[in-house]
Amino acid sequence: MALKAVAFDAFGTLVYIGERRSPYRQLMRWAQEHGRTRRIPRACAQTWQYRMERQGRELLPMLNAYAMSYDAGAVKPQPRIYQFLLKKLGCIADEVLFVGDTVVADLEEPRAFGMQACLLNRSAGQALADVVLADLLVGGSLRNT
C-alpha cells in the first residue's frame, strides 16, 4: 500500500528529552490501578490536554494531526493508542510510517499493528533526517530496523 502519512513519536523523537520521567505513563498507571481503565480523571486530562496541545502546536505547528495518549486513554505500546492514531489520520495501518526512538513502543508494536516503522537511535548519532528522509527519498525501502 502507498504511504499516506508519517507519524512521529513526539517526546524523545521530535523533541529530545535528556532525562525521561514519563509523567503521563505514571498517571495512567495510577488511574488503571484505581479502576479508571478508559480515561484519566477529567480535571487531570483537561490540564494535561491544554498544556500538551499548546506546547505541541507551538513547537510543531506544521503537523496535520495530534494524537496524544491522554486523549486516547492509552499509552504505547497498548494497541488502542495505535488505533486512535489511525482514526485521527484517516488511514489504514499499512499506509502509515511510524517513527520513534523506543524499540518496543515505536518499532515492534507499530509493525505488529500493521504499520511500517523505523527507529531513531540517538545514542548511535542518528538524526531524524537520517532515519526518515533517507528512506523516503531512496524509495521507501525502510531499511532501518
Residue 35, domain CATH: 3.40.50.1000
pLDDT recorded at residue 94? 93
Q: Any residues with CB less than 8 A from the CB of 21 and at least 6 apart, and which? A: none
Q: 145, exposed or middle or buried, with CB in 10 Å at 0-12, 13-18, 19+?
A: exposed
The answer to whether the Cα torsion of 18, 79, 85, 139 is positive or negative is positive
Beta carbons of 108 and 83 less than 8 angstroms apart: no
Torsion of CA 52, 55, 58, 64, to 10 degrees: -20
Question: Is the residue at 28 inside a domain?
Answer: yes
Structural domain total, the chain:
1
Q: Please state the φ and ψ torsions of residue 100, each to the nearest 5 degrees.
A: -155, -175
Question: Is the residue at 145 inside a domain?
Answer: no
- The CA distance from 97 to 87, in Å, is 15
pLDDT recorded at residue 52? 62
C-alpha cell at 109: 508494536
Question: Is the residue at 25 inside a domain?
Answer: yes
CB burial readout 16-33, b (16+ within 10 A) else e:
eeeeeeeebeebbeebee
Question: Is the residue at 59 inside a domain?
Answer: yes
Question: Is the residue at 142 inside a domain?
Answer: no
pLDDT in single tens digits along all 145 residues of the chain: 688 898 988 777 776 666 666 666 676 677 777 776 555 555 555 565 556 666 666 766 777 887 877 678 778 899 999 999 999 999 999 999 999 999 999 999 999 999 999 899 888 888 888 887 766 665 554 444 4
Question: Is the residue at 46 inside a domain?
Answer: yes
pLDDT recorded at residue 81? 92
Full residue range of the structural domain in which residue 95 is found? 5-137
Question: Is the residue at 144 inside a domain?
Answer: no
Question: Is the residue at 143 inside a domain?
Answer: no
